[in-house]
Structure formats: structure tokens, C-alpha cells
């Protein structure tokens, strides 16, 4: 059976290929969207990381019946659409590549801060989530990420967050850490593409790309796939 075929994407000098196979997996995922995470300081936009989201082919099977026919703008304005992505029953992988160097603790502190703020705002912060936050920070405590280094998050349908590190663009053969908590797996992805996510361009690019795939599935599909 074939696979969804999408082109690669360059984000501030970081090249994301059109397909990726997660560490320890044989499943190929297609590039669904990419963009920078940065901060405007004065008149200058400083990019810290480049982010790409990869999805399993089953994502198209799952999402198209509900969202096919919607424009990119309609998708981008719908939080339900993004919820269906980060909570869907299909494999997802987020690759975060460093444009500006960061230490592991610096990166983990910002990500977990965003997760905690969202949980507390929703009134759902609990002991199991606090434990997952500790596990997340532990995974990053001895890491250092120079320019071009990559952090990979696998968001499994089973509710696990699998974390891998690479000092360049190569894909590690084995994961570095696994957190068996579906809430943090969703929260990490939601912090990127959610309504108040840190990368509006990734969110927008995802809507544009998936609206095109839904509308022209044959164009983005190699011969033989059943959609």
C-alpha cells in the first residue's frame, strides 16, 4: 500500500523532509505542517526553533470525512479541527529543530510552564499531571541543544509521549524517554498548534496543507493507498 506523499519544507534554514520514520518504528509519517517559533523584540522577530508536525496516513482517513470542503481559513479558525488532530486516534510526531541554541532545562521549563498554565486555567491540574511534568523535566535535565539539534516528540494513539534527541537532523534509532501520560502528550502538541499556541505559522501551514490534501487526495497520494 502507498503513502501520502508531500514535499519537504524549509523553515529559517532548517530543512524538514516530506516523510519521516520515528525512532524505533517502521511507520512512515507525512509532513503535515511546519513553521517557526519566535518572539518579536522591538522591530526584529527572533526565531528560536523551527517546528514540523508529521502525521500517519490514518489522520487523513480520520479527519477528511468531517473537514473536507472547508477552506484553510475555516480550518485555521476552528479549535475543534486542531483538537481532532492532537486528540485523534492516529500517530503524530513533532520535530523541533533549534535555530538558536538552548539548554535542555531552558527548553523544558518553557514547555512545561505552558502546559501547567493551560491545565490550571481549565481546572484540571492534578497529581498525575504534576508527575508527568517532573518526568518531562528529568528527560531534558542533562541535554544541550546547539543550532541544528532536534527534539522529537511522538504522540502515540495509546496516550504516550515518546521523546528522542538528535544533535543534528538525523533520526535517532532509539527514544530517550517515554512518559505514559496522554494529557502531557496532548498538551505539548496543543501548546504549539492550539488556539494560543507558540507557533501560529505552524498552525496556519497545517490548515493550508491539510485543506489541500482533503480536496485533492489523489494529488498527494501514491498509487495504491485506500483513503
pLDDT tens figures, 95-152: 999 999 999 999 999 999 999 999 999 999 999 999 999 999 999 999 999 999 999 9
Domains in the chain: how many in total?
Answer: 1
What range defines the domain where residue 40 resides? 9-215
Q: Residue 2: inside a domain, yes or no? A: no
Q: Who has greater pLDDT, 186 or 219? A: 186
| CB contact set of 20 (below 8 Å; sequence gap of 6+) | 28, 29, 31, 54, 93, 95, 171
Q: Residue 3: inside a domain, yes or no? A: no
- What local confidence, expressed as pLDDT, does residue 189 receive? 95
Q: Residue 220: inside a domain, yes or no? A: no
Q: Are 26 and 18 in contact (CB under 8 A)?
A: no
Q: What is the CATH number of the domain that holds 133?
A: 3.50.70.10
pLDDT at residue 161 tops 90: yes
Q: Residue 4: inside a domain, yes or no? A: no
Q: Residue 225: inside a domain, yes or no? A: no
pLDDT tens figures, 56-86: 999 999 999 999 999 999 999 999 999 999 9
- What local confidence, expressed as pLDDT, does residue 224 receive? 39
Amino acid at each position: 500500500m502507498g503513502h501520502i506523499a508531500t514535499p519537504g519544507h524549509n523553515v529559517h534554514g532548517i530543512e524538514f523532509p516530506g516523510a519521516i520514520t520515528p525512532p524505533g518504528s517502521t511507520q512512515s509519517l507525512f509532513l503535515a505542517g511546519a513553521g517557526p517559533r519566535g518572539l518579536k523584540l522591538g522591530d526584529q522577530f527572533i526565531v528560536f526553533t523551527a517546528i514540523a508536525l508529521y502525521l500517519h496516513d490514518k489522520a487523513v482517513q480520520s479527519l477528511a470525512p468531517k473537514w473536507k470542503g472547508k477552506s484553510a481559513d475555516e480550518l485555521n479558525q476552528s479549535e475543534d479541527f486542531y483538537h481532532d488532530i492532537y486528540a485523534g486516534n492516529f500517530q503524530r510526531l513533532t520535530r523541533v529543530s533549534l535555530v538558536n541554541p538552548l539548554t535542555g532545562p531552558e527548553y523544558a521549563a518553557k514547555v512545561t510552564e505552558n502546559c501547567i498554565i493551560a491545565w490550571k486555567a481549565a481546572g484540571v491540574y492534578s497529581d498525575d499531571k504534576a508527575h508527568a511534568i517532573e518526568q518531562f523535566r528529568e528527560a531534558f535535565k542533562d541535554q544541550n541543544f546547539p543550532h541544528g539539534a532536534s527534539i522529537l516528540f511522538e504522540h502515540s494513539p495509546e496516550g504516550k509521549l515518546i521523546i528522542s534527541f538528535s544533535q543534528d537532523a538525523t533520526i535517532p534509532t532509539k527514544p530517550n524517554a517515554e512518559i505514559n501520560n496522554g494529557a502531557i502528550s496532548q498538551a505539548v502538541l496543543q501548546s504549539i498548534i492550539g488556539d494560543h499556541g507558540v507557533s501560529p505559522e505552524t498552525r496556519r501551514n497545517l490548515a493550508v496543507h491539510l485543506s489541500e490534501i482533503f480536496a485533492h487526495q489523489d494529488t498527494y497520494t501514491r498509487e495504491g493507498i485506500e483513503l
